[in-house]
Chains A and B, each alone.
Chain A
Amino acid sequence: MLARRKADALQGTLDLLVLTTLGRSPQHGYGIAAHIQSISDDMLRVEEGSLYPALHRMEHLGWIRADWQTTENNRRARMYRLTRAGEKRLAEEHARWERLTKAIGKFLRYA
């Protein structure tokens, strides 16, 4: 769905989904994918081949931070959480998305 080297808008969308998910609580990769899928009623599916590069990229950009934690059923999982910069980024992405959808909605109504 979100292949590498696609336009910024789409990549931004994946970032937005991930950041929003992490905004609620820290989560591991599988959890992020599952969350996005279930909240969107299976409408949005994130391919693992895109998710992990995106996570690592955002980690290098300093938006999210990762550390190894033990889950309730005693397995080590790499948990991602938002950083201060990530929170700021989330707000920006959110605002941008609002503007974009508003513009598209307006366009669809009046075009």
Chain B
Amino acid sequence: MGWLRRLRNTWSRRDDDFEEEHRFHIDALRERYEREGLTPEDARQAAQRQFGATSIVRERTLDADMFRWIDDLRRDIAYSGRLLLRSPGFSLLAIFCLTIGIGANAAVFSWIEGIMFRPFPLVAGQDRLVAVTSTSRGTSDRSGVSWPDWRDMERASTSIDAFIAEHITGTTLSVGDRAERVAGSMVSANYFDALGIHPILGRGFETGEDVGRNAHPVTVISYQLWRDRFHGDPAVIGRTQLLSGLPHTIVGVAPEGFYGTFVGYAFQFWVPASMQPQFDSGLYALEDRSARWIEGFVRLKPGVSIERAQADLSAIAEQLEKAYPDTNRGRGIKLWPLWQTPFNGATVLQPTLVIALLVVTAVLFIACANVGNLLLVRAFGRQRELTVRLAIGAGRARIVKQLLTEGVMLSALAGAGGLILARWLRDALVFVTPPRGVAMHLTGELDWRVFVASAVVCAAATLLFALVPALLTSKIDLAAALRAESGGVVGPRSNRVRSTLVIVQVSLSCALLIGAGLLIRSMLAVRDASPGFDAHRLVTTSVDLFTSGYDPSRAKTFQDELIDRVQAIPGVESAALSRMTPFSYRTYSTAAVAIDGYVPPPDQQPTFEYNEIGPGFLATTGIPLVAGREFTRADDERTLPVAIVDETLARQFWPGREAVGRRLQLKGQWLQVVGVAAAARYHNLLERPQPFFYVPLRQHFTATTALQVRTTASVAALAPALVREIHRLDANVSPSEVITMREQIDRTTAAQRVAVTMLVAFGGVALVLAAIGLYGVMASIVAQGRRELALRMALGAGPAELLRLVLARGLVLTTAGIVIGTGAALQFTRLLGYLLYGVGPRDPVAFVSAMLMVAVASVLACVVPGWRATRTNPLDALRG
């Protein structure tokens, strides 16, 4: 085990032992020479001569005793450490630049890890978890799966370990005197077991608890809810809590850090799927094969590929299609890797995260170019030292190694700082994402994968910024360097490299700013975009009579009186109910529809979304009526079933013909079309027009409704009046959050906002870093060229000419950078894809303003060195 001892010796050198051993030897020699008759002094000298240079003996013995390279490394580290401490300004600036570069990368890695690849903390085996939706042949529809279909697949599949069904829901939670809106989920009974989540108190759900209409009013609450609202009381198990109007028995408390299985939201409670009717205003979907509401996950059996599972489930879907043609015609099943899950925040954030990754890579490059520049400046300053070291016999490899060690130390320090930065930035996505009225969870994950990725980034960065200076430096021409009085040897070559670095920096930051400009422009366009109705002075809230225990007939009376009272509030122009608020995160009703005079291909079924609306809804929201009439109070359960279609639907199925008077069939019932509404946006501003229709709320009744109010008053003024009027009708009914439609719409543009914030922030950082780099290069060009400038001055050049000279050099670099950056941006802005709205990827305004910003920053960076050049004292400079 010699190497082990050598390794040990490497860390604990036994210098004292050598000393003593060698001294003993020399003493022994001296004694012998004395015995042979030499004087003590001569004997001492002879012994020393005989033994040779003690230091060489020791070095050679050390070579035998330990791993030389480790010792060298230790020396390099100590030496580099001293160097870094000797110029703290340089070190801090370099570490600062790299920390930003590496930290930004680590943060984005952690977001990608925590949002796309391991989005559900504590959930076991997320690499085998895939999301499930149904498909409709001939369309790009991605709805959920019906409960009966889900159960049939669970029974028949061979490739799946667990079918985990759920659907996001919400309720107003009142504990004590505080009420708040919380998000939760209706889940299959196997939910907690299949996810590997063990409640810290009580139990999860038991087999069979997801069966039977409202049969099992039990709930598992989140750790956060338990701690904040129940004071962490262990006796909470067995207590009842009102959820969606029905007392539920609390049977379990989920562990801390488990937020459920929906990217973006932190769930506070879970109920078995059997409670679905209670949470969906009485609509019973558990036995309805056409109600596709399950947004579920399946866990593949170990070793099963997603393709095999897809084939397995598709085969089952085909059998279901044959067995239940009425409901399942044209329906298939599609599996999605977790990071492509279509029904939660993952897909919305995906392009943003990809852009973020590109942006932080660019920032890292800029930071590396900066540090590379700084190292070159310093190498220039250390030229004498390095030349001397080379001259007295240091190997070039040794010098390169030493410079690289310095680089590794810088990036290791920056890497550590970067991870701290990433830890702070973990939650940043939540802060730049518009609030949605319930607790959110969008957090990065700092696990070993992120650490490994960051270490790789550190290593790559080191090579980028340290290798070039190291190689350049080691190429010093010894003879020339020793001859030269000062400077000028590393000079021309390194200036070329440094200029290249500056061009890279300028071009990258120019490209980033162009991207930021495009996103800002598109954000402005989104802000001004029309949702297809007049969102100004429109206020929205919701009133839930179902959970307050109203039966339909009482609810209808309440709703009519409510509209009358609200319309009597001063400042209110009109008010109307609807099942869904436009731009809400909840889902519209959707159904297969047969259309008068349209025969679909035999294996397809047109499926559309629709909204159940009260009288005056179109007028209140400001959706123009193109033909026919709006619903009135006369369109109720006693009269002819009617519908209003939107222009998109009318144009698609009755092109060039009058739509009013035609019919469409919904759930077996023929509806007479009485009006055509202008096409509007229903989910978000960026969607493409899709067929949509409206039915009267009275003919498709629900007691849980949204209330839209068009008013001249502000929200702040309207909200108390609304609450007052509702409380006059029933003191136990409260409206949910009262917000403007504008805010409701803004909540759907989260992805754009996150992307804009990110690009603007990083684009700004990039520009500052690039300006620092340009400043550094210009400053040192001026410093190196002191003699030349002095000579020009001595020959009669004025300050203005000198300034112009320096500025011109800087602007040549800047111009090159801008040209390259613009060229790159022309190629890459397409990647912004759907985040761009209302601006082309080559929008000239964004391009020109970014170029101007870069130009201004460059001029600023050059002015100080230029001004310093004009202050050169020719005498001093020429004397050197």
A interface list, Cβ under 8 A from B? 4, 28-31, 33-34, 47-50, 52-54, 56-57, 60-62, 75-78
Contacts and interface: CB of A to CB of B under 8 A. Distances in A.
Nearest to A54: B64
A48 B65 contact: no
Interface stretch (B20-28, B452-460, B505-513, B688-696): B20-28
21 contacts: A4-B60, A28-B24, A48-B22, A48-B25, A48-B51, A48-B57, A49-B52, A49-B57, A49-B60, A52-B18, A52-B21, A52-B60, A56-B65, A57-B64, A60-B2, A60-B64, A62-B1, A62-B2, A75-B27, A76-B20, A78-B17
Interface string B1-41: 11101100000000001101110110111001000000000
Contacts of A34: 28, 32
B271 to A, nearest CB: 70
Contacts of A30: 24-25, 28-29
A31 B25 CA distance: 9
Contacts of B63: 53
B2 A61 contact: yes
Contacts, number: 62
A75 B23 CA distance: 11
A52 B17 contact: no
A52 B18 CA distance: 9
A53 B52 contact: no
Given A52-B57, A56-B61, A78-B24, 17 more contacts: A28-B24, A29-B24, A30-B25, A30-B28, A47-B52, A48-B22, A48-B25, A48-B50, A48-B51, A48-B57, A49-B52, A49-B57, A53-B63, A54-B64, A60-B2, A60-B64, A61-B2
A24 to B, nearest CB: 18
A49 to B, nearest CB: 5
A39 B51 CA distance: 20
A25 B29 CA distance: 20
Nearest to A62: B2
Nearest to B1: A62
B800 interface: no
A92 to B, nearest CB: 18
Contacts of A54: 64
Interface residues of B, number: 27
Contacts of B22: 48, 52
A44 to B, nearest CB: 15
A57 B24 CA distance: 20
B56 interface: yes
B110 to A, nearest CB: 46
Q: Which 4 A-B pairs have the closest CB atoms?
A: A60-B2, A30-B28, A56-B64, A53-B60
A78 B21 contact: yes
Contacts of A76: 20, 24
Given A49-B57, A53-B64, A60 B21 contact: no
A60 B17 contact: no
Contacts of A31: 28
Nearest to A56: B64
Nearest to B32: A34
Contacts of B51: 48
Interface string B560-603: 00000000000000000000000000000000000000000000
A33 B3 CA distance: 27
Contacts of A57: 64
Interface string B51-86: 111001100110111000000000000000000000
Nearest to B60: A53
A49 B51 CA distance: 7
Contacts of A60: 2-3, 5-6, 64-65
A48 B52 contact: yes
B22 to A, nearest CB: 7
A65 B77 CA distance: 34
A48 B53 CA distance: 10
A43 to B, nearest CB: 17
A76 to B, nearest CB: 7
Contacts of A53: 57, 60-61, 63-64
Given A49-B56, A49-B57, A60-B65, A77 B2 contact: no
Contacts of B6: 60
A37 B52 CA distance: 17
Contacts of B27: 75
A23 to B, nearest CB: 21
B822 to A, nearest CB: 59
A4 B51 CA distance: 16
Contact of A29 (B3, B21, B53): B21
Contacts of B64: 53-54, 56-57, 60
Contacts of A77: 21, 24
A33 to B, nearest CB: 8
Nearest to A29: B25
Nearest to B65: A56
Contacts of B32: 34
A77 B18 CA distance: 11
Nearest to A50: B60
* Most B CB within 10 A of own CB, among A4, A56, A78: A56
Contacts of B5: 60
A40 B453 CA distance: 65
A3 to B, nearest CB: 10
Contacts of B60: 4, 49-50, 52-53
B3 to A, nearest CB: 8
Interface in B143-174: none
Contacts of B25: 28-30, 33, 48
A50 B57 CA distance: 8
B34 to A, nearest CB: 14
A50 B64 CA distance: 11
A100 to B, nearest CB: 25
A37 to B, nearest CB: 10
* Most B CB within 10 A of own CB, among A48, A50, A57: A48
Interface in B170-228: none
A76 B28 CA distance: 12
A29 B65 CA distance: 16
Interface string B689-706: 000000000000000000
A33 B51 CA distance: 11
A71 B403 CA distance: 49
Nearest to B58: A52
B2 to A, nearest CB: 3
A97 to B, nearest CB: 23
A51 B51 CA distance: 10
A40 B762 CA distance: 79
A37 B430 CA distance: 82
A77 to B, nearest CB: 5
Contact of B61 (A28, A52, A61, A62): A52
A31 B31 CA distance: 13
Contacts of B21: 29, 52, 77-78
Contacts of A48: 22, 25, 50-52, 57
A28 B52 CA distance: 18
A99 B56 CA distance: 35
A69 to B, nearest CB: 11
* Most A CB within 10 A of own CB, among B1, B32, B61: B61
A62 B3 CA distance: 11
A7 B326 CA distance: 92
A107 to B, nearest CB: 34
B24 A75 contact: yes
Nearest to B4: A60
* Most A CB within 10 A of own CB, among B2, B21, B60, B61: B21
